């Protein structure tokens, strides 16, 4: 296996790896049809085995504080994607690709890395094993169907009737929200300090 910088010709392999990696996670429906580009500078890495992309990591970093990240002090880097092809898990690929990102972040003088993830316990455990600490959370709420949609739009007169809603819930009544909607995820923010 080798880790290198993402190239435009990697896009289909990157997309395939990401969608397969996300299938058995709470991000199962977060399917992309093209790779994102970033407003700020980025570290975009792929792990290759036998000419196949088996892992990826995208990290957008700040030129000035709090333009991308929110949970740390100093210039940060946001990990937008870490994904390992399911046929290649448990081989240290994620740790290796993160290690390369950390080397590059260190050369850039980044003070910390930030990452957000949902309810998958194994993902939380991986971040903690890599030295990340949970700092914050909020809810991702999906509303579907008349019953759930009426909770959002009850009494609102509109000519277009939404059929699906994705929302961020930032309030204090998390348990009530979790009880009120079928599909709710806690989105947790993790931080790894790089500079002391």
Q: Looking at residue 194, what DSSP letter applies?
A: -
Closest CA to 95 of 149, 55, 39, 141: 55
The mean pLDDT of 80-106, rounded to a whole number, is 97
Domains and CATH numbers, the chain: 2-135 (3.40.630.30), 138-184 (no CATH)
The pLDDT of residue 152 is 75
Residue 60, beta-bridge partner list: 42, 78
The helix (H) or strand (E) run that includes residue 18 is: helix 11-22
Q: How confident is the model at residue 147 (pLDDT cuts 50, 70, 90)?
A: confident
Closest CA to 79 of 56, 63, 96: 56
Can you give the pLDDT at residue 146? 81
pLDDT bin (cut points 50, 70, 90) of residue 195 is confident
Query: Rg of the Cα trace of the chain?
Result: 18
Residues 6+ apart with CB under 8 A from 16: 53
DSSP SS3 for 14:
helix
Number of Cβ atoms within 10 Å of the Cβ of 122: 9
pLDDT for the residue 6:
98
Question: Where residue 76 falls among pLDDT bands split at 50, 70, 90?
Answer: very high
| pLDDT reading at 153 higher than 80 | no
pLDDT tens column, 118-135: 999 999 999 999 999 999
Host H or E run for residue 177 = helix 174-180
**Cα–Cα distance measured from residue 130 to residue 124, given in angstroms and rounded to the nearest whole number:** 10
């Amino acid at each position: 296996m080798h880790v290198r910088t993402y190239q435009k010709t990697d896009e289909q392999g990157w997309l395939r790896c990401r969608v397969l990696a996300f299938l058995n996670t709470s991000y199962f429906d977060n399917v992309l049809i093209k790779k994102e580009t970033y407003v700020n500078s980025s570290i975009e890495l792929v792990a290759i085995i036998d000419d196949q992309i088996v892992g990826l990591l995208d990290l957008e970093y700040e030129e000035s504080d709090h333009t991308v990240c929110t949970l740390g002090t100093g210039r940060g880097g946001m990990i937008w994607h870490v994904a390992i092809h399911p046929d290649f898990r448990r081989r240290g690929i994620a740790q290796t690709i993160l290690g390369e990102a950390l080397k590059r972040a260190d050369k850039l003088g980044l003070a910390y890395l930030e990452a957000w993830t949902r309810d998958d316990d194994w993902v939380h455990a991986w971040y903690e094993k890599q030295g990340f600490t949970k700092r914050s959370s909020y809810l991702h709420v999906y509303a579907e169907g008349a019953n759930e949609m009426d909770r959002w739009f009850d009494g609102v007169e509109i000519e277009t009737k939404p059929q699906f809603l994705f929302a961020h819930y930032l309030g204090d009544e998390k348990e009530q929200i979790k009880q009120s909607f079928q599909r709710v995820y806690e989105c947790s923010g993790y931080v790894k300090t790089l500079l002391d």
